[in-house]
Amino acid sequence: MAKHFTDADDELLAELGVEVETKTASSHTPREERIIAGFEEIQRFVEEHGRVPQHGDERDIFERLYAVRLDRIREQSECRNLLESLDHQGLLVGSAALPTAVEDNLDDDALLAQLGVGTETSPITDLKHVRPSAEKRAAEEIANRQKCEDFNKFKPLFDTVQKEISSGLRTTRRFERKAEIAPGNFFIVNGQKAYVAEMGEDFLTPQGMTDARLRVIFDNGTESNMLMRSLQRALHKDEAGRRITEPNAGPLFADQTIDGDEPSGTIYVLRSKSDLPIVAENRDVVHKIGVTSGKVARRLANAKLDATFLLADVEIVATYELFNINRSKLENLIHRIFEPARLDIEIKDRFGNPVVPREWFLVPFAVVDEAVERIKDGSIKQYNYEPRQARLVERQST
């Protein structure tokens, strides 16, 4: 007896990451998709090891394979043209290491073999090599990634998230529901961290399901304007797909004070008197935000000699005494909140060495004050700082 799916069945399948969609044509041929996939493997190697793959008997088989593949890609003009927009690491620049040139008249399979990307030649009855439609759609999503031109704005976010995972401030868990996909959230899919930077207006699919267009930034410097349900499918399909949780600051404030009601930490907000142009032009909104266990005045005694204070005197705008606080976690939390507004500046210390101060932010003081109050009452986890609006914005929910 034939089975007919109802709208409720479709919605349940969608929540599980399984849905029936109208087949759309990919912007790349299957051969081009495989070349892109092979190039992305090289990119992941470079991200992990900090260098291009190299030849040599002492190298492992995968590195040697990637080295040969990169040489072949560099030699083929059609490959370079295909991959140029994805090459954020500059891998296509350079000469091939192998002396033997690749013939121009190679057929598709031979060219792919030269690139180290194999083809499937199983009999038609061997179904284990027949790609399901979900896998084909995933390949289309990968193929449609583009270089993220403003990745320098997002890289500090990925760096902070990795540090917070390493320190235990964040954890990862299995992805469960579509409702978790929202702006500001991080995921791990196909071995890469993914950040949902933007979400468009909701719309209904031909099957009557809710969807939305996303701007997703990946930690390899690419981005995709994929659909929310496409990301949901990819996370469900990937056995290692994970949701990166929000920072857990832990018990910042205890129920009772200790040591005779003595404060255990002080948040300080400072304003610089530096003559640096970027500071002078934005003096009212350039603030240093930090946490100290000692006296703030003592911390500032040698500000003019300290590059982290921009080698200039500072003005104390506000201090907040807090009790029974985990100072390190609190400082990480504050800096995460205002990460999108961190001041990008490098100065030379007294000895001429370059220093990048990390605690200066382009944030109005009123917003800093509001953030501290929300930390105290626990509501800060519901907010992100939006630099363009210069205010804390409540996170969107789906």
pLDDT of residue 353: 85
Cα dist from 162 to 146, 165, 219, whole Å? 23, 5, 11
pLDDT of residue 14: 54
pLDDT of residue 151: 92
The verdict on 104 and 202 lying in the same domain is no
Query: Residue 204's CB: how many other CB atoms inside 10 A?
Result: 9
The verdict on 273 and 234 lying in the same domain is no
Number of domains comprising the chain: 3
Q: Evaluate if pTM is beyond 0.85.
A: no
The verdict on 275 and 215 lying in the same domain is no
213: CATH? 2.30.30.30
* Host domain of residue 102: 27-139
In a domain, 255, yes or no: no
Q: Tell me which of 212, 244, 276 is where a domain ends.
A: 244
Q: Tell me which of 107, 139, 171 is where a domain ends.
A: 139
The verdict on 132 and 166 lying in the same domain is no
In a domain, 193, yes or no: yes
In a domain, 6, yes or no: no
Q: Which two tokens stand for residue 46?
A: 């470079």
In a domain, 14, yes or no: no
The verdict on 87 and 177 lying in the same domain is no
Torsion sign, CA atoms 361, 366, 367, 369: positive
| HEC per residue, the chain | CCCCCCHHHHHHHHHCCCCCCCCCCCCCCHHHHHHHHHHHHHHHHHHHHCCCCCCCCCCCHHHHHHHHHHHHHHHCHHHHHHHHHHCCCCCCCCCCCCCCCCCCCCCHHHHHHHCCCCCCCCCCCCHHHCCCHHHHHHHHHHHCCEECCCHHHHHHHHHHHHHHHHHCCCCEEECCCHHHCCCCCEEEECCEEEEEEEECCCEECCCCCEECEEEEEECCCEEECCEHHHHHHHHHHCCCCEEECCCCCCCCCCCCCCCCCCCCEEEEEEEECCCCHHHHHCCCCEEEEEEECCCHHHHCCCHHHCHHHCCCCEEEEEEEEECCCCHHHHHHHHHHHCHHHECCCCEECCCCCEECCCCEEECCHHHHHHHHHHHHHCHHHHEEEECCCCEEEECCCC
pLDDT of residue 10: 53
pLDDT of residue 250: 45
In a domain, 202, yes or no: yes
Q: Tell me which of 139, 171, 190 is where a domain ends.
A: 139
d(CA 156, CA 361) in angstroms, rounded, equals 13
pLDDT of residue 398: 44
The verdict on 113 and 216 lying in the same domain is no
pLDDT of residue 108: 47
The verdict on 229 and 277 lying in the same domain is no
Closest CA relative to residue 222, chosen from 194, 244, 241: 194
Per-residue pLDDT of the chain (398 residues; tens, 9 = 90+): 444 445 554 554 455 444 444 444 557 787 888 888 888 888 888 887 888 888 877 777 777 888 888 888 888 888 888 888 888 888 888 644 433 333 444 444 554 554 444 444 444 333 334 444 444 454 445 446 888 999 999 999 999 888 888 877 778 888 877 778 888 889 999 889 999 999 888 888 877 788 889 999 999 999 999 899 889 888 888 888 889 987 654 444 444 444 443 446 788 899 999 999 989 989 989 999 988 877 788 878 888 888 889 999 999 988 887 766 667 778 888 888 899 999 988 888 878 888 888 899 999 999 998 988 888 777 887 888 998 888 999 876 54
The verdict on 113 and 232 lying in the same domain is no
